[in-house]
Amino acid sequence: MRHGPFIFLGILCAVLASWLGAVVAPQLQFGDQALLKLDDLGIEYPLARNGEAKQGAEIYRAEGCNYCHTQQVRSRGEGADIARGWGKRRTVSRDYLRDLPPMLGQMRFGPDLANLGERQTNATRLLMKLYNARIEMPGSTMPRFPYLFEARKLRYGQAPSTNALPLPAIFAPPAGTEIVPTTAALQLVAYLQSLKSETLFYEVFPPQPPKKTNQVAVAVGGTNAIPTTNALPATNTAPATNTPPATNAPATNASASP
Ligand code: HEC
């Protein structure tokens, strides 16, 4: 084994390089990111979750929702995710500061949930989705989570609880039974409704207006606007706008000082 030390050095360098690239570099880039005080909005971003929603995050993780749902608005090309209504901007690393661990997800069998709390404010609809996704969307491939609910027998003549799910007839349990959410289901829904990352701040690129198409260029070209507008600023700015500031500045200073 004459090459032993070289092989060892080679492996060490490979491990070291990937550690520098995958651990040290991101740590230097994002490691010291802190909550952002947005004084004009009177908030600290990302928004804090209440205890119920924090518990819900654990249930989200335990149920493996992130195997089918991402929490990241990507912006590729024309911003397909934004066009789908999944957010007003792409997500940035700061959006996950309160998440331990962040539930990025990688597969999109279902819609992205990064901004679910912005678009779905109806807790009952979310509970129904968890109980049986097909109530709202026939043929949905989202699994049911019936164990997050409790089937309760009603005594004869007893009115159903106020938090019983208003299930349509074909999904309803046998007569005399009601379906009520467990604490876990309510916590999960509190978490889902806390998913909001649309706040704009400086490191976020606000969504751009759609790119100009050829049509616009043709319209501009057709009116001969290009030659005239190009000529005007070129001749106007050079002599006219350059000279007044130069002469104005001393003049205003002089008149202000006495
Ligand atoms: C096997 C994949 C899969 C899993 C696991 C899964 N879902 Fe879904 N989910 C889907 C699909 C597919 C849809 C879209 C069809 C529909 O709306 O039913 C969806 C839709 C949704 C929607 C509606 C989204 C919207 O934009 O209106 C919510 C909310 C949701 N899922 C929450 C959850 C939660 C919470 C969990 C974990 C408890 C979960 N899902 C687990 C596949 C999945």
Residue range 211-227: average pLDDT?
Answer: 50
Q: Provide the pLDDT for residue 212.
A: 64
Q: Provide the pLDDT for residue 247.
A: 40
On the 0-12 / 13-18 / 19+ scale of CB atoms within 10 A, 169 is: exposed
Q: From CA 112, how far away is CA 86, in angstroms rounded?
A: 6
Give the distance (Å) from ligand 1 centre to CA of residue 87: 17
CA 112 to the chain's CA centroid: 8
Binned at pLDDT 50, 70 and 90, residue 78 comes out as low
Give the distance (Å) from ligand 1 centre to CA of residue 60: 11
**How many CA atoms are closer than 13 Å to the CA of 69, on its beta-carbon side?**
21
Which residues have CB under 6 Å of ligand 1?
60, 63-65, 67-69, 109-111, 116, 120, 126, 129, 133, 137, 140-143, 145, 188, 192
Q: From CA 117, how far away is CA 131, in angstroms rounded?
A: 18
Binned at pLDDT 50, 70 and 90, residue 87 comes out as confident
- Closest-CA residue, ligand 1 atom 29, reads 126
Binned at pLDDT 50, 70 and 90, residue 121 comes out as very high
- List, for residues 12-44, the tens digit of each pLDDT value: 999 999 999 999 999 999 888 888 888 888 888
Q: Which atom, in ligand 1's list, is nearest to the CA of 112? A: 26
